Each structure stands twice: as structure tokens, then as C-alpha cells.
Amino acid sequence: MDPAGGAVPACVMALRRAAEPFLLVGGTADEFWDGALARELTPYVLEVDGADHGMCRPGPLSRSAEVLGRVTTAVEGFLDDVVWR
């Protein structure tokens, strides 16, 4: 992690050099996640409100299970619409 918190500079630099499209997934409660930066790096972003680094949300387990479903659907859509068109 960057000493100031947030995205890891080496990862950001590598993503900026990417030659192929990529999907970024993160949660607003994750100290590594920077949604504005993610949207700057790629148009393919899933941001989950309240999810932490493990994509867990506070409250009943069903809230975190719902996140898993959203992530899986985002990956499926990215593969179908971008990678395997």
C-alpha cells in the first residue's frame, strides 16, 4: 500500500501500460480502492458501496453473498461483451 493509503503506485503504473482491456472491481470501504482512479484507468469498473478489500459488507452474510453475485455477473459480462465478442 502507498504510505499515504490508497492505490499501490506500481500497480497503477502497470495498469496504465496495459495493452488489453481490463475490469477493475473494488469496494468503497477498501482503503486500497480509488473509484475515480479506477474509472480513469478503464471504462470497465464495478464499484460496490460499503464493500471492504475482501468484498464483504457489514450486516447479514447475505449482503456479502449478494456482492459475490454482482462480481460474478460483472466478470461474465466483461468476458461476453469485451473479451469474447
Q: Is residue 1 domain-resident?
A: no
Entry pTM: 0.89
Give the residue ranges of DSSP H helices in 1-85. 9-16, 35-41, 61-78
Q: How many CB atoms lie within 10 A of CB 38?
A: 20
Q: What is the pLDDT of residue 5?
A: 58
Asked if the model's pLDDT at residue 7 lies above 90, the reply is no
* CA 83 – CA 22 distance, rounded (Å): 9
Asked if the model's pLDDT at residue 6 lies above 80, the reply is no
Phi, psi torsion values for 49, nearest 5 degrees: -65, 125
Confidence of residue 45 (pLDDT cuts 50, 70, 90): very high
Write out pLDDT tens, residues 12-25.
999 999 999 999 99
Q: Is residue 40 domain-resident?
A: yes
Q: How many CB atoms lie within 10 A of CB 61?
A: 9
What average pLDDT does the chain have?
Answer: 93
Q: Is residue 4 domain-resident?
A: no
Q: Is residue 61 domain-resident?
A: yes
Q: Is residue 36 domain-resident?
A: yes
Residue 19 structural domain: 9-83
Asked if the model's pLDDT at residue 4 lies above 60, the reply is no
The cell numbers describing 27, all together, are 469496494
Maximum pairwise Cα distance, the chain: 40
